[in-house]
Chains A and B, each alone.
Chain A
Amino acid sequence: MVESDLSIFLLALLAGAIRVGTPFLFVSLGECLTEKGGRINLGLEGILVTGAMTGYAVSYLSGSPWLGVLAAGGAGLCLGLVHGVICSLPRVNDIAFGIALILFGTGLAFFLGKDFIQPSAPMLPSIPLGGWSDDTRVRSALNVNVLFFIGVALALVLHWGLRGTRWGLVLRLVGDHEDSAQALGYRPAGVRIVATGVGGFLAGVGGAYLSLYYPGSWNEGLSSGQGLMAVALVIFARWQPINCLWAALLFGAAGAVGPALQAIGIGWGYYLFNAIPYVLTLAVMVITCRPDRTLSGAPGELSLNR
């Protein structure tokens, strides 16, 4: 009995790592891209919520969840561009503006999303990888959403793109040393606006995953700080897209501990176990950060490090 409980727990943890980790993956890839350009966008939390609402609403109205994902990305792109453009004005603090964007994005989503709390929209499809097993629990655990694979591919593409393409090198140059980029004739503000916009697009897609797959409905308590944890996650991943993938899986597993314990009948401390991702994030930051030096791999222009 104990052994089977343990195996159920581990299975739920593995499934949760992928299921809960996918939005982390998208948001952290978006934040990674933004931060590579030397800006930090705390507003991804607000973008995530707006994306979740937009995705759900469009999927419900059009009947196509993929259109919903695209619309969520579009909404994220718009908000990301707002952040990028306004923070390009002199004397505008990007961290403070991110906080404002959280408030605005959440308000926008709650305002426009009021009518979509009740009806159910078509969901995103998943790929059954557990067909070989007779156990229904294994099967349901290995139902992996298509967006996860897209996210993994994206992490690989970004990993290569930041190293091997002209665009990636320009982005990193702008993020590491603005003056050199300017001397070479690039326009740092423009590059950053594009990076923040694309980052917003990815965060919006992450939000669509929340409302269109897991937990799979739109309500006002949908996001629980994934957008902000992603910022810490990027620091943990040392600004490497591939590391973002592993970090997202780790955070997903941490977020799945509470539900996994419930699956084997442990109801005690539900709220405390749900706080594990926050504790983990904090622990990771305490371990990796040092006051006297900047982290290896950190973009030089990042206001986080000053």
Chain B
Amino acid sequence: MSTLLFIAVACYAFGAAHAIFALWQAPNPRWFRLALWLMIAGFGMHTASVIARGWEVARCPLISYQEVCSFLGWAIAGYFLVAYAWYRSQAFAAFAMPMVFLFALAAWLLPAPNDTAAILKFYGQTASLLTVHAVLFILAYAAFAILFVAAALYIVQERQLKRKQFGPLWSRLPSLDICDDVSAKALVVGFALLTLGILTGILGSRRLNGVYWQGDPLEFLSLATWLIYLCVIHYRLTAGWRGRRAAWLGIVGFAIVLASLIGIGWLNGFHVIG
């Protein structure tokens, strides 16, 4: 697995570097094509590494911190490729690819888990349900990562337009409309997955301990994430909120997502991880 992951990390690194260079020297179709192929190759290798890991340990590879990072990077890469097929925005690649690279690199650098058997034993009968819970959460987090990139690009450009000071990247970034559209789509996907993830979590908790709410810090963080994105959806639908305000809330939401991700490892409560 680690060899496959290493190749994926290398592909992502070169892909990200090429994408950034292609953006800086835009238009530079050759460099961008190379970046895209590296990204696709990296994604292929990454997929193989996730499958290989699952095969190796005969379970869904999502029980250790390393596996979470790998899966998250993989999911962001997948979303990015879909978003690229949809919008053909080259600038987006220069921001999404480094993020994918960082998560994949973290996965490669982190030590492999020691004793996953104990964790599986701890979860017992609910392990498969809680695996679904974890997959849904990571897929939702990856969608929020895409939302974060789109929202950040929106805010930077909106500020430039309002202040009428255009930076060097100005003409190479996607339009406000596209940024807003990507955020809206990522929001719907992420929110739906997060809701399902929370529901499966509650169900799993009930089966495991007989209570719906464990009082774990991560549960509070997840609830906060859910509420924030609910707010964004609510205001988008009712008050016609879009653009800057929605983008800022998306960024705050992603900050909590990051806190939760770090929290999986540190806030040792009910959520046990290798």
Q: Bound pair: A and B?
A: no
Q: B residues touching A (Cβ–Cβ < 8 Å)? A: none
Q: A residues touching B (Cβ–Cβ < 8 Å)? A: none
